[in-house]
Structure 1
Amino acid sequence: MEKAFKLDFVNDKTGSLYVNCCGCSQTAPLHSFGPASKPHYLIHYVLSGKGHFRFHDKEYRLEAGYGFLIQPNELAFYQADAKDPWSYLWVGFAGSRAEEYLHSMGLSDRHPIFSCDKSEELYSIVRDMMEHNTFGIADDLRRNGLLGVFLSVIADSAGVVAREEEDKGNQYVKKAVSFIQSNYCNPIKVTDVADYVCINRSYLYTLFQNYLGMSPQQFLTTFRITKARELLDSTNYPIESIALSCGYSDALVFTKAFHAMKGMSPSKYRKESHKESTKEQLQEVEGLIARLLKP
């Protein structure tokens, strides 16, 4: 027998991330589920005891402090230990960005196991979800917000079991590129990028060279100058405004960077026709990013 407390919510929602179900359970010895599938993502986290999880012909022995991810519409099997059956909590969820978030956390069908030392915090979050169990908009928003917190706690303290070093490096570069794309218009430096992805500047340099064939500074400058060329071609903004719009607080520094890369000043560039080459340069940068972000 399984002593379980669970809630299932309406499953016809749309959005970036939302809760389908949640619960907690104290299982009996050898209590099992499956092989069966669910239509949404499902994260289980072991609070106490032991058990095993089988997925894609691989079996994982798990204990307190570990969790596992079940992919939508994928057969999975898990069973409590005969002598020390586990208790666990779970959250089922879906959404247009669910896969993206999980992939960024390092969780996938290849790496479904994680460790996390925040059991009390995770349990408190799930209890909060269950206490706000109406179908009204207030509780709906709260549960979905708590889902983000739940994943954040796992992402912050989790270690993904058997995750490859190459995968880690790729994730760091993706996050760094995403940060640059969103903040190139601000006066950020490479140290800010390294701090954002929580690695030192030297390691970030090595990763960019390995994955993109250029340094973080070269990528940041290339991205900024490409955006500046767009503005020079498509607007009548003063050079000073374009400099500020591309993260340069000093128009002279911007002009020197532009000249070093394009062989002419921004003003001279604007006088000539370069729209087609700008388009090609933009496509080149976008292609570089697209290759990086490809799963």
Structure 2
Amino acid sequence: MIEYLPRSKQHIGLHLNQFGNEECLPGHFFGPAVRSHYLLHYVVDGEGFFEVDGTRYELRRGQGFLICPDIITYYQAGTANPWSYCWFGFEGTSAETLLKQAGISKSSPIFCYDQDNRIEQYLQMMIESGGLGKARETKLTGLLYLLLSLLIESSPVTSPEYEYTESRTEIYVEKVTNFIEMNYPYKFTVEDIARFIGLNRSYLCSLFKQSMHLSIQEYLIRHRINKACEMMGNTGLSIADISRSVGYNDPLLFSKMFKKVKGSSPKHYRAEIK
């Protein structure tokens, strides 16, 4: 069976285009041909082979292969023990990044998942979602994320963030700044950041200050105050509203921090930018 899906207008990061399964006849083949989106094939039983860029990969149960957009590929079921497989077609701005996290790419198109039958379960859940209405697209997208999460977690490849040219210090500093960007409106401590990243607080603070030439707490204060400045032009927000929106429930403390960073009170700063 195969089901084709319309292109998503809301899930631009990742979207399922089609899915299906097939019990192939001996020697059944497809290609050489190209596809316009990503296709993951997963072998449920039997054997076959996949060819891309002049390389042939022999595959069996528990293995799979990736077809990348606009790449010529060919695949064929075995003659003695033809394969049965399921497939998932998808696209989106996050697709390539997620696949790389699983160690799957144009240059490394083969993957293995033989721990359990969850991939087949997700396919069945996709099929059974046909009875849903407006929620179906979101459920299908969620199931696709779950499928890719299995491949990422089971991949022997080290997380791509450690394959980049950045030093380990730069990676941890980026984690800190990302955490602050996502959570600056809320109450948290430097200890919370260290626990989230998985490093000793003192060690993380030392790395951050060495790289950024200011402490994590100083960076957080500056980030919150800069965000407050961006809100100052919105006359619908009072100073107290802005204070709460950037993580300061105490307007007096907010005013003190604001003046420390910008050299003037929030009220005076707002008057000057009008």
> Considering the TM-score relative to the shorter chain, is it more than 0.5?
yes
Residue matched to 1:184: 184
Q: 1:245 deviation in Å?
A: 0.6
**More deviation in 226-235 or 180-189?**
180-189
Q: TM-score normalized by structure 2?
A: 0.67
- Which residue number in structure 1 is paired with residue 125 of structure 2? 128
Q: Residue 45 of structure 1 aligns to a residue in which SS?
A: strand
Q: Determine the C-alpha separation between the residues in 1 that align with 2:236 and 2:183.
A: 23
In 2, distance between residues paired with 1:214 and 1:67? 48
The residue correspondences of 1:6-85 to structure 2 (distance < 5 A) are: 6-11=1-6, 14-16=9-11, 17-27=14-24, 32-48=29-45, 53-55=50-52, 64-79=61-76
Larger Rg: 2
Q: Does the residue aligned with 2:94 lie in a helix, a strand or coil?
A: helix
- Paired with 1:173 and 1:66, the residues of 2 have a C-alpha distance of 37
Deviation at 1:87, TM superposition (A): 3.9
Superposition deviation, residue 71 in structure 1: 2.6
Q: Does residue 148 of the first structure (1) align with residue 142 of the second (2)?
A: yes
Matched residues in 1 for 2:57 and 2:222: separation? 45
Identity %: 34
Contact 1:208-1:214 within 8 A present in 2 as well: yes
Q: Note if contact 1:190-1:201 (Cα within 8 Å) is conserved in structure 2.
A: no
TM-score normalised by length of structure 1: 0.63
Alignment check: 8 A CA contact 1:42 1:93 kept? yes
Map of 1:159 onto structure 2: 155
Shift of 1:123: 0.8
Output aligned runs, 1:1-295, within 5 Å: 6-11=1-6, 14-16=9-11, 17-27=14-24, 32-48=29-45, 53-55=50-52, 64-79=61-76, 86-94=83-91, 98-104=92-98, 106=101, 108-109=105-106, 112-116=109-113, 119-133=116-130, 138=132, 141-142=135-136, 144-155=138-149, 157-159=153-155, 161=157, 164=160, 165-167=162-164, 180-189=180-189, 199-200=198-199, 220-235=220-235, 237-271=237-271, 273-274=272-273
Task: Determine helix, strand or coil for the equivalent of 2:32.
Answer: strand
Separation (CA, whole Å) in 1 of partners of 2:244 and 2:226: 14
* Distance change in 2, residues 1:247/1:87 (3 Å): farther
Distance in 2 (alpha carbons) for counterparts of 1:187 and 1:120:
42
Unmatched 5+ residue regions in structure 2?
Answer: none
Q: How far apart are the structure 2 equivalents of 1:120 and 1:261?
A: 56
CA RMSD of aligned residues (A): 4.6
Q: 2: distance between equivalents of 1:191 and 1:111?
A: 39
8 Å CA contact 1:115–1:161 kept in 2: the answer is: no
Pick closer, same or farther for the CA change 1:218–1:141 going to 2, 3 Å. Answer: same
Letter in 2 for 1:152: L
One-letter amino acid of the counterpart of residue 228, structure 1: A
Partner residue, 1:291: none
Equivalents in 2 of 1:253, 1:261: separation in Å?
12
Q: Higher helix fraction: Structure 1 or Structure 2?
A: 1
Residues in 1 aligned to 2:80 and 2:175: alpha-carbon distance in whole angstroms: 43
Give the C-alpha shift of residue 109 in structure 1.
3.9
Q: Secondary structure at the match of 2:232?
A: helix
Q: How many residues align?
A: 262
1:68 is displaced (CA, Å) by 3.7
Aligned to 1:3: none
Q: Which whole-Å deviations, capped at 9, do the CAs of 1:81-140 have from their partners, x for residues lacking one? A: 67776543211134xxx232542453654565555466422211212223455xx7x367
Given that 1:111 and 1:160 are in contact with CA atoms closer than 8 Å, whether structure 2 keeps it comes out as no
Does the 8 Å CA contact 2:52/2:72 hold for their aligned counterparts? yes
1:188–1:247 CA contact under 8 A, matched in 2: no
